[in-house]
């Protein structure tokens, strides 16, 4: 009984802390998207979230850290949409085609993802942007290459981790380039064609499905 009485306040505190964090993230996302990174102030974020500046700093060290959390959350939502578009059963070649198309579709249809990606270089630096952008996606891409290796579809001697890491970077960099010039005629088709040719080049000649 006593333990339950102790645990309940802790649980409530944890729940309140999570609610506070989510309110800060929502307010920050709105500010970054509408004002831009440079014009966003943590004081304003706290005021919109209805929390103190101290509460903001309790959850996030600084503005770059807050932006990173917002950006990573948006990338995670995009990954869920990408995975949902993938067929349950497909050959490695079909999976690569589908994954590339799904990533480009995410950047084409999600204006918030595009805008946060555009600001991310200023907020975090390009290397950090790539790291955050790819962090949650890597296990998904790695699984495609692991499946290819398991059924003999990957070229002999190819390291699956290196292949997945390089393919992921190529595809995301391509999607960011495309997002910066959506109206260019035929741009998406051209970029997807090049990326598919490059990434599927890691597969053995026998995998033609």
Q: Are residues 82 and 165 in the same domain?
A: yes
Tell me: pLDDT of 148 over 80.
yes
Q: Are residues 18 and 94 in the same domain?
A: no
Q: Are residues 129 and 183 in the same domain?
A: yes
Question: For 118-125, which contacts have Cβ atoms below 8 Å and span 24 or more sequence positions?
Answer: 118/179, 118/180, 119/32, 119/36, 119/37, 119/67, 120/67, 120/71, 122/37, 122/38, 123/37, 123/63, 123/64, 123/67, 123/68, 123/71, 124/64, 124/67, 124/68, 124/71
Q: Which domain holds residue 45?
A: 1-60
154 DSSP β-pair partners? 203
Mean pLDDT value across the chain: 90
Confidence band, pLDDT 50/70/90 cuts, at residue 11: confident
Q: How far apart are CA 100 and CA 141, in angstroms?
A: 10
Predicted local confidence at residue 90, as pLDDT: 85
Task: Among 70-74, 133-137, 174-178, name the one with the lowest average pLDDT.
Answer: 133-137
Mean pLDDT, residues 63-92 taken together: 91
Q: Are residues 166 and 70 in the same domain?
A: yes
Residue 15 or 200, more confident: 200
Q: Are residues 9 and 77 in the same domain?
A: no
Q: How far apart are CA 179 and CA 188, in angstroms?
A: 9
Q: Which CATH number do you get for residue 15?
A: 1.10.10.60
Angle of the 187-200 helix axis to the 160-179 helix axis, nearest 10? 170
Residue 171 or 90, more confident: 171
Q: Are residues 74 and 52 in the same domain?
A: no
What's the distance, CA 106 to chain centroid? 10
Domain count, the chain: 2
């Amino acid at each position: 009984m006593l333990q339950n009485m102790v645990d309940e306040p802790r649980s409530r505190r944890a729940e309140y802390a999570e609610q506070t964090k989510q309110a800060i993230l929502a307010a920050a996302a709105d500010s970054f998207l509408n004002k831009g990174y440079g014009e966003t102030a943590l004081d304003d974020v706290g005021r919109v979230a209805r929390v103190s500046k101290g509460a903001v700093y309790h959850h996030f060290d600084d503005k770059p850290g807050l932006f990173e959390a917002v950006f990573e959350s948006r990338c995670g939502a995009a990954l869920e949409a990408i995975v949902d578009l993938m067929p349950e059963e497909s050959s490695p070649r079909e999976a690569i085609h589908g994954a590339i198309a799904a990533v480009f579709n995410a950047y084409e249809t999600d204006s918030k993802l595009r805008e946060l990606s555009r600001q991310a270089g200023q907020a975090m630096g390009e290397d950090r942007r790539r790291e955050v952008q790819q962090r949650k996606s890597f296990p998904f891409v790695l699984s495609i290459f692991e499946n290819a290796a398991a059924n003999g579809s990957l070229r002999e001697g190819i390291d699956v981790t290196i292949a997945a890491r390089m393919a992921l970077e190529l595809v995301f960099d391509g999607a960011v380039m495309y997002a910066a010039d959506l109206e260019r005629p035929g741009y998406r088709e051209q970029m997807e064609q090049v990326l598919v040719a490059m990434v599927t080049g890691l597969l053995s000649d026998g995998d033609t499905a």
